[in-house]
Every structure is written in C-alpha cells, then in structure tokens.
A and B are shown apart, each in its own frame.
Chain A
Amino acid sequence: MGLILREKAEYLGTFRWLEIFLMETLARWVPTTPEMEVKVLMGRHIWDAAQHADALGKRTFELRAPLHYTLSPLTPYFELMKELAAVEDTPGRIQVIYDVLLPALTARYQEYLDGSDSLLDEPSYRVIHGILGDYARMRQENDALRKELKDMLVFDASRAEEWRRKEAEIGEIVPRGSGATLAVGAHA
C-alpha cells in the first residue's frame, strides 16, 4: 500500500470516526436493549471505543493533522454503518458488533499496518496494537456472555454472514487526498 504521511493521518482519522461510531452505537443500544447482561457488556465496551478514539486522535496531531482529526468514511461504508446501526433485536446487535464490525475493523487496521513502517510509524503501531488487543478481549467477553445466555438468545448465523459479505465487498473506505485542507475544518 505504501502510505505517505498525509494518507496515514487520513486513515487514522477515518478509524477515529469508526471508533466514535462504535462508541455511539453501543451507547444508543444500552437503554433500548432489554437484557441486563448485554447492557453491561455494551456499557463496558463504550469506554474501550472511547479510549481508541482518543489515542487515534492524539496520534493524528503528531502526523501534522489537527488534534482529534476525524474523517467520515467513503459513502458506501458510511451507508453500511447506518444500516448496521439500525438493527433492533438483541442477537442482531451482538452480531453486528462482535461478529461483523470488530473482525472487519481488525482487518482494516491490519491493512494499515501492512502499508506503513513499523520503525518510522512506531507510535501508530503501538496505538493499533493496543486496539487489536482490546478487540480480542472484547470478543472473548462476548463469547462468555453468549455461553451464559445461550438459552435466552437465538442467533441467525446467515444474517451475520450476509453483513460480513457486504462489508468485505467495500474496498476503499478512506477519503483519499482530503489531507490537510479537509483536516482544518474537522472537529472531534
């Protein structure tokens, strides 16, 4: 991929948008999801997403973009996120976060790492490795919850598979070339 400095800030700014989207989606679902244990899981992960957004936002500043530079993803991805955020049933919401978004974002972060330099861009690597470690823990916590609630919640695997397919079909998600000009007007 071979990203230049400005593109790295754009990637991280887009990831920051996605982490805030994750935080706000979980926050929106907490009061509207009936199951107490699921509220607890989502409530704990709101803080994880917020910390990820914070770390990414500080890193964008170090890459000569504004502090907490945030870029909305390209339209197809943005629309998919809106579709996923509209899911109303509890099993569907769990699948959206833990079976679709976290694995998808893991792959997207890995793509960034593959296109960067672990020495010159080490601070970004550290931020992203921290996020990927958190994702692994969040998914383990979700697995434990699903075991605990196995008699209460019924999951439709084909639905998650369809969402994953849609996500994977979208290649580019980062607005390229927006760079410093767009960065000036962006806000946290």
Chain B
Amino acid sequence: MQGIQLCADPAREACFRVAQSDSEMQVFEDSMSEAARRERLHRHMNNEMGALEIAAQCLVDFPDAPWDLRMQLARQASDESRHVAGLYRRLRQLGGRKGEFPIGNFEWAVTNMCDTLAARLAIQNRTFEAGQMDLLGALRKIWRSMGDETTVEVLEHILADEINHVRFANRWIRTMVQEDRRLLLKVASAVRFLAETNTALSAASNGAPSDAAKKHTDLGINIEDRRHADFNEEEINEILRQAGMSTFVAAEGRG
C-alpha cells in the first residue's frame, strides 16, 4: 500500500466493506448526527476486534514469551472481546448493524509487520491503545453532552480496561529492554515504521493528516490516565510536545 508493505487483513464477514485508506471511510458533516454516532460505534467496534486479533496473534507467534506476559495477553484478548460485544450491543440499540459502514484494519496491518513481541506491544498497546485512552477521555464528555449515558458507560468500562493493557505493555517493554538492549532498536524501528506508514498514507490523502490523527490532536492528551498506565512524566511531556501542546507541558511542570 503506497509503497509500504503491510500485513494482509484478518478474516471479516462478507457484510463488511474493508477500506484501504481514510478517504474510503464514511465521514459526516454533522459529526454527532444519528448516523455519525452509529459510525463512531461501528468503527470503534472493528478497532476492538482488531485489538483482540492482535493480542491473540501475539499468543500464537511468541509461545516462548514469559508465562506472566502471556497471561496478560490472554486477558487482553478477553477484554477486547467484551468491548466488541458491548459496542455491538449499543450499535444495535441505536438501530445500527454489522457492515453498515466501511471499516479499516490499519492497526492489524502495521502491528503484525513487527517480528518481536516488544515491538508489537510498543505499537499496539503503547501507541494505538494509549491513543485510544486519549480519545476515550474526550469522547465520554461528548457523548455525555448529547445525553447518552448508556454509551458513556460502555466507553468508561473500555477505558478502564485499556489503561491496564497499556500499563502491562509499558512494564514489560521496560523489562524486556533491560534484559536485551538490542530490543530497543527493534522498538525504535517499529515506531519509525509506523511514522513512515502514516506519512505515506497522509501523502496519499493529498498531504493532509489522517482523519484519526487530526481528531486525536483536536481531542487532546489524557494525562491522568497515561499516568495510571505507567507513562512517566518525561514521556508524557514528550507526547504533549509532539501534539503541539508545549504550553501545557510548562503548565504541568509548574503544577
């Protein structure tokens, strides 16, 4: 895709249309119209399905990983399954259905190109899931402002689980890198690969930042939950700087 090799899509039912770029996803002028709300849930449901598949694939691809880490991955698979089911239930309550909107499998396609568990945890848990923590932190407020407490409750539970997934990844990456410094290079090259892929896909959309990346920047960083997930202050400050929130870094520093 755009000159970058990515992992083939996981299996999906025929009712789903799989998009290969952001431009193929459905967007709405009114981002909280009834259809747009269903699209949000539908997209989120598929992302959770991808997270389930990535955790499961880690169990398959790394049978010699420490048992305690495999236990965490197994638990994550179960959590992500519940997230899919919870979002699907809410989608149907709002009159939606599977396959109503296009879906994308970008996270699966990128993460599974990494050949070490540390790199996959860095990409999927520490980057994508941590990013989702930021999004969920803000989205809860948006759904609440619409008076939809049922969806807020779904998102609250998902957020709590995601914090655990990011935390165990942060801890295990540190442990694994301490034991084998060469893994640091693997992690760094995985992060660079992700950045290059994002740039390539951006270029394909006439240089505009991807829809997801733009939304993420607009919604801000969930500092409190990043702390819960074991990001240290230096890492949080770096994320804020990258998101163009240097002023906030200074304010945090003063606080």
Identify which of B13, B56, B63, B64 contacts A26 (C-beta below 8 A): B56
The interface-forming segment of B68-76, B183-191, B201-209, B220-228 is B68-76
Identify which of A28, A36, A47, A187 contacts B78 (C-beta below 8 A): A47
* Contact across chains for A68 and B67 when beta carbons are under 8 A apart: yes
Give A149 Cβ to nearest chain B Cβ, in Å. 11
* Contact across chains for B81 and A188 when beta carbons are under 8 A apart: no
Q: What are the residues of chain A within 8 A of B90 when measuring CB–CB? A: none
Query: What 0/1 readout, one digit per residue, does chain B (62-94) give for beta carbons within 8 Å of chain A?
Result: 011001001100110110111011001000000
Given the contacts A39-B52, A39-B53, A46-B59, A33 and B78 also touching, CB distance less than 8 Å: no
Interface presence of B232 (CB below 8 A): no
Interface presence of B11 (CB below 8 A): yes
Question: Interface of chain B, helix or strand or loop or mixed?
Answer: helix
Report the separation of the CA atoms of residues A49 and B81 in the bound assembly, to the nearest whole angstrom: 15
- The contact size tier of chain A is 20 to 34
* Contact across chains for A32 and B67 when beta carbons are under 8 A apart: no
Interface presence of A40 (CB below 8 A): yes
Interface presence of B12 (CB below 8 A): yes
* Contact across chains for A34 and B12 when beta carbons are under 8 A apart: yes
**Total CB contacts across the A-B interface at under 8 A:** 84
Give B56 Cβ to nearest chain A Cβ, in Å. 4
* Contact across chains for A27 and B59 when beta carbons are under 8 A apart: yes
Interface presence of B10 (CB below 8 A): yes
Interface presence of B144 (CB below 8 A): no
Given the contacts A35-B13, A40-B85, A28 and B60 also touching, CB distance less than 8 Å: yes
* Contact across chains for A24 and B60 when beta carbons are under 8 A apart: yes
* Contact across chains for B13 and A34 when beta carbons are under 8 A apart: yes
Report the separation of the CA atoms of residues A107 and B78 in the bound assembly, to the nearest whole angstrom: 26
Interface presence of B49 (CB below 8 A): yes
Identify which of B11, B60, B81 contacts A43 (C-beta below 8 A): B81
Q: Provide 23 A-B residue pairs closer than 8 Å at the C-beta atoms, listed in order of the A residue.
A: A26-B56, A28-B60, A30-B56, A30-B57, A31-B56, A31-B57, A39-B53, A39-B81, A39-B84, A40-B52, A40-B85, A42-B81, A43-B56, A43-B77, A44-B78, A46-B74, A46-B77, A47-B74, A47-B75, A49-B74, A50-B70, A51-B71, A187-B64
Give the A-binding residues of B (Cβ under 8 A). 10-14, 49, 52-53, 56-57, 59-60, 63-64, 67, 70-71, 74-75, 77-78, 80-82, 84-85, 88, 98, 108
**Given A30-B53, A31-B56, A40-B52, 16 new contacts (CB under 8 A):** A26-B56, A27-B77, A30-B77, A31-B10, A31-B108, A33-B11, A34-B11, A39-B52, A40-B81, A43-B52, A44-B82, A46-B74, A47-B75, A48-B78, A50-B70, A51-B71
